[in-house]
Structure 1
Amino acid sequence: MSDWISTLPEITQTFLADRRLDEVECIVADLPGIARGKAVPAGKFEKQAYFHLPDSIFYQTITGDWGEAAGDEGFIERDMILRPDMTTAIAAPWTGDTTLQVIHDAFDRKGRPIPYSPRNVLKRVVELYNKQGWQPVVAPEMEFYLVARNLDPAKSIEPMMGRSGRPAAARQAYSMSAVDEFGPVIDDIYDFAEAMGLEIDGITQEGGAGQLEINLQHGDPVRLADEVFYFKRLIREAALRHNCFATFMAKPIADEPGSAMHIHHSVIDMEDGTNLFSGPQGGETDAFFHFIGGLQNHLPSAIAVLAPYVNSYRRYVRDHAAPINLAWGRDNRTTGIRVPLSGPQSRRVENRLAGMDCNPYLGIAASLACGYLGLMEEKRAGPSFKGDAYEGEEDIPRVMGDALDQFEEATKLHEILHPDFARVYSIVKRSEYEEFLQVISPWEREHLLLNV
C-alpha cells in the first residue's frame, strides 16, 4: 500500500484493500454545487500537491454562461491553486474502474482562500463561531424526487414507474409500501453510501409522487455539507442505473410539494461541551431566542442563497408543505422556523426555508450566518406562533428579483459571508435571472397569443 493511501479515511482504505486504484477525481463545488475539476491517474495524483483551475468556474451560471464578475482586471481566467482535503477522499463506487473522489479547497497564488468558493464561505462562517468559543452543529434533511427519464424540456416531469409497474403515487407520506416501490434504487443508494462511508439516519416517503427524504446525522457543518454534496451525486448515479432521474429541483412537478433541505442547528460551548440553547436547569436560554431572532431578522436577505433559482419560489405555496413566512413555533411544521421536540442537550432550531436546489455549503453558511448575527446583536425572537402559520401573512420574497434586491442591500450579511462572495454571487444570479426573463413560456403562448 502506498504511503499516501495509508493516511486515507479507514472506510476508503477498506474499499481499496483488494482493489488497484486507477483514478482520482479532484473536485470542487461551484456556485450551483456542481462538481468541477479534473480526473487524473492515481500515479499522477500521488505525486501532485495541488492542481490548477481557472477562477472563472465560480462565475459560471447554471446554463453554462458567465456572469461579468471578474473584477477590475477583466475576464483573464486567472489560475487558482486547488489543494486536496484528504479527509474527504472517498470512493466513487458507480464507476467502471476503481476511482476515488477528493474535495479540494481553492486558494490564490498567495495562499489566501478564494472568497467566493462555496466551501471557503462556509469555513469562514464556522471560524467566526469558533472565535467566540462556539462550535455550530447542523443536521440537514434532503428531499428529492425520483422521476421518469425526461429528455424533452418542453414535456412535463412525471413520476417514475415503480416496482409494481405503476407510476409512483402522491399523498403516500411515510408509507413503507411506497418506499418499497423504489426498492432497487434505494438498495443502490444504501450500497453506494456504505462503500463511501456515508451514514444515512433514515429514508422516508414524502408527500409527493416519487418524493423521498434522507436524514443525516448531526455534526460539523463543513463535513455535513461535504456529505450532501456527495449524496446528490450518488443518488443521481443510483437513479440512472434504474432508468430514472433523481432531481433536486425545488418544485419539479406542478401541484406536488416542493423539495427542501431543512437545516437543524445547535451551538455548542467549546469549553464545557454544553448546548448554548439550554441553561443549567434545562430551560431555553437568551442565546436560543437570539438565534431565532437572527433567523427572523436576516433570513429575508438570505433567501436568494437558500432559494437560488426562479423555480425555487414556486415551492413557497400556502398549504403545500413549505413555509410562507418567518413565524417560529414549537413542534409546528407550518412555520418557517421550527423547534423540534427534544431534550435540553439536543435542543435545536430548524430552518425550513432552504430548498434542496441550493448549494449545501452556501445554504448552511447563510443559515448559520443569520443565527450568528442574532447571537451577536442579541435581539430576541418574537412570540412563538400558535396554530396554523399558513393563516399568517407572507413575509418572504416570492420572486428571484425581489430576493436579489434584498440580498444586495444586506451589508451585515455580506460581512459574515465575505463581501467579494456577495458581489460575485449577485452578478451570477442576476445573469441567470435575466436569461430566464428572455424565455417565453407555454403559459404565455397559450393565454396571451390570441387573447390580448
Structure 2
Amino acid sequence: MSELWTSKLPEAAQLYLEGKRLDEVECIISDLPGIARGKAVPASKFAKQDYFHLPDSIFYQTITGDWGEAADEDGFIEKDMILKPDMSTATAAPWTGDWTLQVIHDAYDRKGAPVPFSPRNVLKRVVQLYQDKGWTPVVAPEMEFFLIARNLDPAQEIKPMTGRSGRPAAARQAYSMTAVDEFGPVIDDVYDFAEAQGFEIDGITQEGGAGQLEINLRHGDPVKLADEVFYFKRLIREAALRHDCFATFMAKPIANEPGSAMHIHHSVLNAETGENIFVGPQGGDTDAFFHFIAGLQTHLPAALAVMAPFVNSYRRYVKDHAAPINLAWGRDNRTTGIRIPLSEPQARRVENRIAGMDCNPYLGIAASLACGYLGLVQERRPSPQFKGDAYEGDGDIPRVLGSALDLFDAASDLHEVLGEEFARVYSIVKRAEYDEFLQVISPWEREHLLLNV
C-alpha cells in the first residue's frame, strides 16, 4: 500500500485526521451474527500491507462462541482467508483514546474467489444479480434499538435507562420530543460520532417502547448502507457506554414492550435511465412493482431465518405490538408486513417490516432483496391489497426459529440467489446455535413446571 494512502481516504476520514498522527487501524469484517472480527494494527504496519489473514472458522461460530460443523470436504482445518481492505469504508473510531481508523475488509480464498459465506460477499452477489438484469437496487434501513440500564447479571430482567430527569425512561411515548431529550447526552454523542465517521442521519425519533429510539438513514447503495448499519451498531453502543447505560439491538429485550425492527425500504432503478421501475409513465404502478411485492410475500417465510436469526427474534412477532404477524401488503398501513409508504411517484418504494434489528445488516438486506428479485424474475402476482387492521387476521410467518430454519433449508430458489454454500453454512451454524438454546432451562419452566407437572 502506498505511503501516501492517507491522502486517498474518504473525506470524513481525512478531516478526522487533519493535523493528527494516525496511531492504529482496525481491520474488520462481519461474521454471521454481525459481530466485527479482525485485527488492530499500527498505522505504520497497515501502510505496508495489502491484506491480512483470518481463519475461515470465524464464519462457523455461533453467537455463544461455540462452533457449527460447517467446514467443507477439507475438514475443520481453519484455512486462512485473504482479507483485503475496501478503502472506501475507511472511517474514524472516534471513541478511542488515540487516533484510530476502521476499515472493512472483503474475504477471498487462496484462489482469489470471494468467500461465499462472508456476509458482505453475499450482499454483493445479490446486488450483482440485479445489475446483470439492468437494475440498480436502492435501500433505506431504519434502525430501532433500546437504551437500557446497565445489565451485569443475565438472570435479571432488562430495565430502561435512567434519563436526564433521574427517572427511568417512560414507556409508550412514541414521537415525544421530551422523551428524546431524556437521552440527550447519548444522542449528542451519536451525532458527534456519526459526523466524525461521515454518516448522514435522516432523523432520530422516540419509538413506542421504554427507552426505544429509531434512527433513519438516507437511501442509497445496499452495500454502503449495510456498511453504515454495521458501523452504527458499534457507534451507538460506544455512545451509550459513555453515559453508564447499554444500547441493545435485541429484537425483544423487554417483556410487554414493542420489539426492535430494521425496516428496509426498497426501490429499483433502471440502470440506464435512472428511472424507478415501480412507476409508470403517468405515475401509476407497474408490473414490476407488483412482482416485487409478490416476491416478498412468496419468499419471506423462507428468508425469515436470516432476518430473524435468533430464538429471541420470534418474541417480537406479537399481535398489536408494532410488529407484523403476516405478509399482507397495504398502502400507508403499519399493521401489514409489507407497507407502501406515502410518497411522490418517483420515490415509490416497498417497505419490508419483517426484519429484526438483531439481524446481520448485510444478510438481512441481501435476503430481502433476494425475495424481491425472485418476484421480479418469476413475474409473480401479489394478493389483493389489504385494507384495515391486519392484526385481526391470522399470522402466516413462522413463530419459532426451528420452523423458520426448516423453511429456509427447503428454499432452493432462495439458495440460488444467496449462494448454495452460504445456505449450507448458515443452516448448520444456526441449527448448532438452536440446539445450544434448547439445552437451557428457563425461569418460566422452573416456575410453572417444577412442582405442577
Partner SS state of residue 47, structure 1: coil
Q: What is the identity, as a one-letter code, of the residue corresponding to 2:26?
A: E
CA distance in 2, matches of 1:346, 1:380: 22
CA distance in 2, matches of 1:176, 1:136: 34
User: What does residue 372 of structure 1 align with?
Assistant: 373
Q: Is it true that 1:434 corresponds to 2:438 in the alignment?
A: no
Q: Is it true that 1:341 corresponds to 2:339 in the alignment?
A: no
Shift of 1:344: 1.1
Q: Is it true that 1:288 corresponds to 2:289 in the alignment?
A: yes
Q: Is it true that 1:102 corresponds to 2:103 in the alignment?
A: yes
User: What does residue 223 of structure 2 align with?
Assistant: 222
Partner SS state of residue 16, structure 2: helix
Q: Is it true that 1:327 corresponds to 2:349 in the alignment?
A: no
**1:288-325: CA deviation from partner (whole Å, max 9, x where unpaired):** 00000000000000000000000000000000000000
Shift of 1:393: 1.6
CA distance in 1, matches of 2:158, 2:139: 32
User: What does residue 145 of structure 1 align with?
Assistant: 146
Partner SS state of residue 278, structure 1: coil
CA distance in 1, matches of 2:214, 2:207: 6
CA distance in 1, matches of 2:15, 2:446: 57
Partner SS state of residue 121, structure 2: helix
User: What does residue 131 of structure 1 align with?
Assistant: 132
Shift of 1:382: 1.1
Partner SS state of residue 72, structure 2: coil
User: What does residue 310 of structure 1 align with?
Assistant: 311
Q: What is the identity, as a one-letter code, of the residue corresponding to 1:66?
A: W
CA distance in 1, matches of 2:4, 2:100: 18
Partner SS state of residue 36, structure 1: strand
Query: 1:45-56, aligned counterparts within 5 Å?
Result: 45-56=46-57
Shift of 1:448: 0.6
Q: Which runs of 5+ in 1 are unaligned?
A: none
Q: Which runs of 5+ in 2 are unaligned?
A: none
Q: Is it true that 1:443 corresponds to 2:436 in the alignment?
A: no
Q: Is it true that 1:422 corresponds to 2:423 in the alignment?
A: yes
User: What does residue 263 of structure 1 align with?
Assistant: 264
Query: 1:172-191, aligned counterparts within 5 Å?
Result: 172-191=173-192
Partner SS state of residue 69, structure 1: coil
Partner SS state of residue 47, structure 2: helix
Query: 1:355-366, aligned counterparts within 5 Å?
Result: 355-366=356-367
- Aligned pair count? 452
Shift of 1:392: 1.3
Partner SS state of residue 57, structure 2: helix
Q: What is the identity, as a one-letter code, of the residue corresponding to 1:372?
A: Y
User: What does residue 73 of structure 2 align with?
Assistant: 72
Shift of 1:74: 1.0
**1:122-145: CA deviation from partner (whole Å, max 9, x where unpaired):** 000000000000000000000000
CA distance in 2, matches of 1:2, 1:81: 21
CA distance in 1, matches of 2:385, 2:375: 16
Q: What is the identity, as a one-letter code, of the residue corresponding to 2:128?
A: E
CA distance in 2, matches of 1:102, 1:11: 13
Q: Is it true that 1:408 corresponds to 2:446 in the alignment?
A: no
Shift of 1:153: 0.3
**1:33-56: CA deviation from partner (whole Å, max 9, x where unpaired):** 000000000000000000000000
Shift of 1:2: 4.7
User: What does residue 156 of structure 2 align with?
Assistant: 155
Q: Is it true that 1:113 corresponds to 2:114 in the alignment?
A: yes
CA distance in 1, matches of 2:407, 2:212: 31
CA distance in 2, matches of 1:123, 1:229: 15
CA distance in 1, matches of 2:159, 2:373: 41
Moved over 2 A (4+): none
TM-score by length of 1: 1.00
User: What does residue 9 of structure 1 align with?
Assistant: 10
Q: What is the identity, as a one-letter code, of the residue corresponding to 1:345?
A: Q
CA distance in 1, matches of 2:402, 2:110: 35
CA distance in 1, matches of 2:12, 2:214: 25
Shift of 1:363: 0.1
Partner SS state of residue 143, structure 2: strand
User: What does residue 241 of structure 2 align with?
Assistant: 240
CA distance in 2, matches of 1:439, 1:379: 42
CA distance in 2, matches of 1:136, 1:392: 32
CA distance in 2, matches of 1:65, 1:435: 9
